[in-house]
Amino acid sequence: MARLTDKYTLITGGTSGIGLATAQAFLAEGAHVAVTGRNPQTRAEAQRVLGDTAWVIDADAGDISAQQALADTLATRWPRLDALFINAGDVTHAPLEVWQEETWDRLMGTNLKGPFFLIQALLPLLNNPSSVILCGSVSAHIGLPTSSVYAASKAGLLSLARTLSVELLPRGIRVNGLSPGPVETPALSKLGLDDEALKTLQSDIARLVPLGRLGRPDELAKAALYLASDESSYTVGTELLVDGGTAVGR
């Protein structure tokens, strides 16, 4: 099958984890693929994994001015954008008492403010029809300690998926949310834990999942592929939970 033949697709935060797996899935289905990332090492590795046909772009999802710059960059080479997967995210978790305004603003800038202004900047490029996918999180639905700011940002993003789905539908733009449950990705390594503590955390997280394990990036990529393709042409303003039953099990 080639469900995305000749479709131009952008995946933010696409140089590792769920984003990279989605880029691989999109390429396999015939799409033109661009991914963004901040880290030079992960961008280089993504280019190696995806090959020369993919476009790997240096972009900071939390820099508001960079959103228009990204849109301008895409317009220099692409005639349109058929699918957008906003996947870049700050996964910082911390107890309430240690949060500071600077770290709050950085997380919200990456997870909520940046995505809003990226969609705004990309409006002239988004095709009729096209699909926008906002990566939420099951954390928006459960009371997980230390996740307060992260969960709030994802709840806001999922609200955007609902409201923008109505606002942008006259332009032929479908907007939906895709919410992963606990997934085994490099994001866990960014929590600053040693190997033993990380293994303990992974075990604790897995116990939250009724299915009994962490998800795999490719399982989320398949869901993103559905939402990006014409197979989801009647799917608008919804949230697709791919979480191993975490939301209903809490």
**Catalytic residue set:** 150
What lies within 8 Å, CB to CB, of 50 at 6+ separation is: 20, 23, 24, 27, 33, 35, 56
Query: How far is residue 167's CA from residue 39's CA, in Å, rounded to a whole number?
Result: 34
What lies within 8 Å, CB to CB, of 112 at 6+ separation is: 153, 156, 157, 160
Query: How far is residue 132's CA from residue 238's CA, in Å, rounded to a whole number?
Result: 12
Rounded to 5 degrees, what angle do the CA atoms 5, 222, 71 make?
60
